[in-house]
Amino acid sequence: MDTARLKRIQALFLEACSVAETDRRAFLQGACGEDAELLATVQAMVAEDARGDSLLDSGVAEIAGDMLGARGESFASRQFGPYRLKKVLGEGGMGVVYLAEREDLGSLVAIKILRAAWLSPARRERFESEQRTLAQLNHPSIARLYDAGTLADGTPWFVMEYVEGVPITDYARQHQCPVEERLRLFRAVCEAVQYAHGHAIIHRDLKPSNILVKASGEIRLLDFGIAKQLESLDQAADQTKTELRMMTPAYAAPEQVRGKNVGIFTDVYALGVVLYELLARRAPFDLSNRTPGEAEKIIADQQPQRPSSVDTRVHATSWADLDVLCLTAMHKDPERRYRTVDALIRDVDHYMKGEPLEARPDTLRYRAGKFVRRNRRAVIASVLGAAAVLGMAAFFTVRLAIARNTAQATAARLGRVQQFMLSLFEGGDKSAAPAEGLRVTTIIDRGYQEARALKQEPEVQAELYRTLGGIYQKLGNLGQADALLSAALAERKSLFGPEHPEVAESLVALGLLRVDQARLDEAERLVREGLDKTRRARPRDDAAIAKATTALGKVIEARGSYDQAIPLLQEAVGLEERIAPASGELAAAVKELADAQFYAGHYDVCDTLNLRALSLHRQIFGERHPLVADDLINLGAVQFERAKYPDAERYYRQALEINQAWYGKDHPEVASTLSMLGRALVFEQRYDEAVSLVEQALAIQERVYGPMHPKVANVLNELGTVALQRERFDEAETRFRRMAEIYKSAYGEHHYLYALAYANLASVYLARKDYGRAEKMFREVVERYTEALSADHLYTGIGQIKLGRALAGEKHYADAETHLLEGYKILTKQTSPSASWLQSARKELVNVYEALNEPEKAAQFRQMVPAAQ
Amino acid sequence: MLSRQALDELFSVTYEELRRLASTVKRKDPSATFTPTALVHEAWLKLAKSPRFASTSPLHFKRIAARAMRQVLVEAARRRLSSKRGGDGGVTFAVVGDAAVETALGREELLALEDALQELERLEPRQALLVESRFYGGLDVAETAALLDVSEATVHREWKVARAWLNHRLREAR
């Protein structure tokens, strides 16, 4: 049975139905002839058509009801793979835990089956791969996860080490453990949790029933990561809370009941509650007989009673400290808890050794605040001193204003240190001409010197490095930026541990720098790491997550994977919109998305986005700001792709004016704008003007980025194109060859930009009428584009058209037609096809059809080409 | 225009939501009449608020839900029937319910329909889509026409043909 056969059968059936019943038999016999099978089939179908009682008619409702209806399932079979179920150990709201024995090995395991959870087919694979990570948890105090999977219908199951023990709170009560013993047990629990955190696994559901103590006194933690699987289901449906989570509300952290993101701090909270129970011998909140809504409120808002005041019979050397330990871990605000379980362990140790705790109401943050205020004066004093030396009363220049604004635009969160930095640049006369010798870099360099002296305040120093690094990057000094951002990252890692949100932020910042440095593999790795850490450590709607998501989108876009970048950036825009309706970060995200859409060829969407970004930027920064210039450039770029060159030129000129005023005439941003303007002029055939501008651009980019940087390749592209237009073939060839070399060394042979350079080079041969060579090269171009992008990408289509052109040049018209049509098809499938390319393709097809002597087809395409051509 | 990945996401979310809803239905009121259309509607009410579905129209959602519903029901049918065979080997947890004979027939039919539908998908994907949308998703003629971008007359005709074909196949398989 194939499609053709079925079509025949069906067509015949329809005909038969329209024939009068009395004539049907004869009609069918005539139509089917020898084909007895055909006759039988169609007759059967006609008979079915007359009946009205099939499943398809009655609908699926009845059957569905049965199949999904509960009939009190119980298990009869006792075999579960290689395991034999022996008895039920326990039952919860989510699932059942069985004790089972592995027949061949004789070992006992616990099997947990989550009846109330379902994974869609797509998620099952992910679930199983996540289990592999969990199975790596190998710690004496953590119950091993041996195996996990899903049943045929998606129900998750887990096979775990069977632990014989009692919940930690019961154990402590049964053995009448004194405080020191309880703390010892607690500390062992913390060590296990810390170990898991080190493997980037958060428990999410710590509670006494998950913390067993064996008869030997050893601790075993259960159910690591299982809560994560359930949570991924909840996230899927975007529920803010779920019955699954509310199973044990007494131990749920405030952020959990609110449905916000969990992180290390969530486990810290749970540990705090466990400690509370161990010390006070009761739970911190009485949630019995409360509705879920009431329970939520209590957990989120009500302060627990101090453990020391609950049970006064218990002796402790210093209750005040125990209170602090417990309540710091259990703080409602995740930021105010112990940052890591390690920190909690340290304080437990301090207590046991009789030493003062590190956690104090007056936290590190406040102390640093005082230091910053001290330092600010010191740094300003030195800067003012420098100004005095140079005899400048007002040393704030336009460039300093830039630094201020870019620093603002760069940082989503204005740390206290950044405020200090910005205050350096406050005020001043914007229209004052930049003074010789007193450029931003000098100020920043001084800032750097001051920062280096701040060895006593490593937090402050790290943040200063981060800010300065960002500023250097904006100013184009990538080497210095690299040194500073790397230093900031290293410092933060050693200060806060690898999971801290500030470390995550540094990773993202460094990743973005790598994009500028054209080191894309590293860029992606760093930003992904930063984003993952940020997601773990921050609530879901946090600005840091939005920013990191935008950054990742930007990196993926830079690699040319627009299909991946677009949804990511859409997500980022959504996140930013929820945070603030009109912010610089939102505009940045919109702009990145616009860029990705542009490269993907979706010009209309890109236009809309760019206009939105432009309006946002104007609103926030005013008319003459480089971000406004950027948007103008993007708008120009779309007009350019639509072959509306004078419009593009207009946009570009506006942008150039702004950029030159802001950055000065020698800045890479200006070079980039010059290139684009030059390109538009080329297409308007104003070649001399164009070349002069673009050569300026080349000089700038070579100086700033070095001769092998992709930005230089960009400019070479422009110059090559002009040369080509003017039929200066040797020059064009040189330019394009160099461009290809640069892209090859920066991105590798498989990147689409290399293919693009190669295509341009091939165009030179085409123009020289060296069709044989051009054909070979364009074939390769099409292959490379297909590999790097896709077979139906816009660029591949253009490649096909050029290949067609080369073949036409060789008079291989039939071949030419094939490729031209292929390319044309691809072009027309684009959502906003570029007019110039369509026209070009049509003209070629007209030529080919004329040569093939097919005048009708030629006419067909000729009609579509505007007469003015 | 959604990427493959985004579509898979939407499908997964819809599938899980439908299953969740299905299980709550049975708990609430065992005697309640249960229709997939009602489930799909409920799922839409909930998921429409999610940003994930922001660019999805109700019609497009129904289409995804039809597919998800099909999967949910076919899996449910398979799960029930596998109990008689006592497990398929590998790790299949065999469950026995009070499987009444008359409803077992319904399940077998559904699975037979699934086989036939898969065959039709291979040969005439658009017809299969039509059947899936109407039967599992509860789309009416107007909606189906909008979804497939054809006239209502075409929908009637294609349904007539597909129905006859599938029923013929089902009868053959018995």
Cα separation, A795 vs A175, in Å, equals 75
Distance from CA of A55 to the nearest CA of B (A): 8
pLDDT at A434: 34
Lowest mean pLDDT among A39-43, A154-158, A229-233, A840-844: A229-233
Please indicate whether, in this complex, the C-beta atoms of A567 and B110 are within 8 angstroms of each other.
Answer: no
State both tokens at A342. Answer: 């390690």
Q: Give contacts of B 56-85 with A, CB under 8 A.
A: 68, 71-73, 75-80, 82-83
Mean pLDDT, rounded, for A61-69: 61
Interface size between A and B, measured as CB pairs under 8 A: 202
Compare all CA atoms of chain B with the CA of A232 and give the residue at the minimum distance. B13
**pLDDT at position A436:** 30
Q: Mutating which of A66, A230, A603 best tests the B interface, going by the most B Cβ atoms within 10 A?
A: A66
**Nearest by CB to A67, which of B76, B90, B96?**
B76
- Mean of all residue pLDDT scores within chain B: 73
Residues of chain B positioned with their CB less than 8 A from the CB of A151: 79, 91-93
Residue in the structure block whose two tokens are 């799922």: B43
Low-confidence winner among A16-20, A476-480, A582-586 (lowest mean pLDDT): A476-480
Per the CB < 8 Å rule, is A121 touching B15? yes
Nearest CA in chain A to B99: A71
Phi, psi at A360, each rounded to 5° = -145, 155
Checking if the pLDDT of A637 tops 60, the result is yes
Region A344-371 average pLDDT: 63
Q: Do B167 and A73 touch (CB under 8 A)?
A: no
Amino acid at A356: P
d(CA A39, CA B17): 46
The answer to whether B16 contacts A563, with C-beta atoms less than 8 Å apart, is no
- Asked if A205 is an active-site residue, the reply is yes
pLDDT of residue B84: 38
Per-residue pLDDT, B86: 35
- Please report the pLDDT score of residue A220 as a whole number: 93
Residues of A in contact with B23 (CB under 8 A): 68, 116
Q: pLDDT category, B119, cuts 50, 70, 90? A: very high
B26 vs A: CB within 8 A: yes
- Read off the pLDDT band of A152 (50, 70, 90): low
Q: How confident is the model at residue A504 (pLDDT cuts 50, 70, 90)?
A: very high
Least confident of A399-403, A737-741, A821-825: A399-403
* Alpha helical stretches, state H, A116-213: 121-135, 168-174, 179-198
Taking the C-alpha atoms of residue A657 and residue A653, their distance in angstroms, rounded to an integer, is 6
Report which listed range, A84-88, A124-128, B112-116, is most confident: B112-116
Q: What pLDDT is recorded for position A150?
A: 72
pLDDT band at A269 (very low <50, low <70, confident <90, very high): very high
- Exposed e or buried b per residue across B118-154, where buried means at least 16 C-beta atoms within 10 angstroms of its C-beta: ebbeebbeebbbbbbbbbbbbbeeebbbebbeeeeee
How many Cβ atoms from other residues are within 10 Å of residue A366's Cβ?
Answer: 10
Residue A131: the pLDDT is: 73
The residue in chain B having the minimum alpha-carbon distance to the alpha carbon of residue A82 is B91
State how far the Cα of B136 lies from the Cα of B115, in Å rounded to an integer: 15
- The DSSP letter of residue A582 is S
* Whether pLDDT at A414 is above 50: no
pLDDT for A439: 47
Identified catalytic residue from A49, A104, A205, A770: A205
A773 pLDDT higher than 90: yes
Contact A613, A590 (CB under 8 A): yes
Question: Which of B52, B124, B165 is closest, CB to CB, to A238?
Answer: B52
In a mutagenesis test of the A interface, which of B3, B4, B19 is the best target, namely the one with the most A β-carbons within 10 Å? B19
Q: Give the Cα separation of A149 and A131 in Å (integer).
A: 8
Q: Is the pLDDT of residue A211 over 90?
A: yes
Describe the strand order of the beta sheet including A83-91 as a list of residue ranges. Answer: A79-80, A83-91, A96-102, A107-113, A156-161, A145-150
What average pLDDT does the segment A683-698 reach? 89
How far is CA B56 from its chain centroid?
Answer: 19
* Ranges A107-111, A117-121, A337-341, A351-355: which has the least confidence: A117-121
Which has the minimum average pLDDT: A159-163, A394-398, A562-566, B67-71? A394-398
What are the φ and ψ backbone dihedral angles of B167, each rounded to 5 degrees?
-60, -40
* Contact by Cβ (8 Å): B5, A226: no
User: Which of A6-15, A835-844, B102-111, B127-136 has the weakest average pLDDT?
Assistant: B102-111
- Cβ of B109 and A81 within 8 Å? no
Measured distance CA(A559)–CA(A523) in Å, rounded: 10
Can you tell me the distance from the alpha carbon of A120 to that of B169, in angstroms, rounded to the nearest whole number?
29
What pLDDT is attached to residue A725?
79
- Distance CA(B94)–CA(B173), nearest Å, equals 26
pLDDT recorded at residue A567: 92
Give the other-Cβ count within 10 Å of B54's Cβ.
10
| Closest C-alpha to A738, from A768, A709, A713, A755 | A713
Average pLDDT over residues A173-188: 91
Tell me how far apart the terminal alpha carbons of chain B are, to the nearest angstrom.
42
Residues in CB range of A688: below 8 A, 6 or more apart: none
Q: What is the rounded (10 degree) CA torsion for A480, A485, A487, A491?
A: 160
- pTM assigned to the model: 0.39
Query: What would the pLDDT profile of A477-488 be if each residue is shown by its tens digit?
Result: 778 888 889 999
Q: Cβ(A244)–Cβ(A93) under 8 Å?
A: yes
Residue A614 has pLDDT above 90, yes or no: yes
**Residue A666 confidence (pLDDT):** 80
Note the pLDDT of residue A741.
92
Dump pLDDT digits (tens) for A793-815.
888 888 899 899 999 989 998 89
**Pairwise CB contact (< 8 Å): B161 & A46:** no
Which range of A54-58, A232-236, A369-373, A605-609 scores highest in mean pLDDT? It is A605-609
How many CA atoms, within 13 angstroms, populate the side-chain half-sphere of residue A665?
3
Kindly list the distances between the CA atom of residue A238 and the CA atoms of A204, A245, B51, in Å, as whole numbers in the listed order.
Answer: 18, 14, 9
Report pLDDT digits (tens) over B31-58.
455 566 777 777 777 777 777 777 788 8
pLDDT of residue A826: 87
Is the pLDDT reported for residue A393 higher than 80? Answer: no
